Amino acid sequence: AQKVTQAQTEISVVEKEDVTLDCVYETRDTTYYLFWYKQPPSGELVFLIRRNSFDEQNEISGRYSWNFQKSTSSFNFTITASQVVDSAVYFCALSEAMKTSYDKVIFGPGTSLSVIP
Contacts of 90 (CB under 8 A, 6+ apart): 6, 21, 36, 37, 38, 39, 77, 110, 111, 113
Q: According to CB under 8 A, which one of 13, 24, 33, 80 is a site residue for another protein?
A: 33
Check residue 102 for interaction with another protein (CB under 8 A).
yes
Enumerate residues 6+ apart whose C-beta is below 8 A from 48.
35, 36, 37, 38, 64, 77
Instruction: Restricting to residues 36-55, name those near another protein by CB under 8 A.
Output: 37, 42-47, 50
Q: Give the shortest CB-10-to-another protein separation in angstroms.
A: 14
CB of 17 to another protein, least distance (A): 28
Residue 92 sits at the vertex; the CA angle it makes with 33 and 7, to the nearest 5 degrees, is: 130
- Residue 24 makes contact with another protein by CB under 8 A: no
List residues near another protein by CB under 8 A: 33, 35, 37, 42-47, 50, 91, 95, 97, 100-110
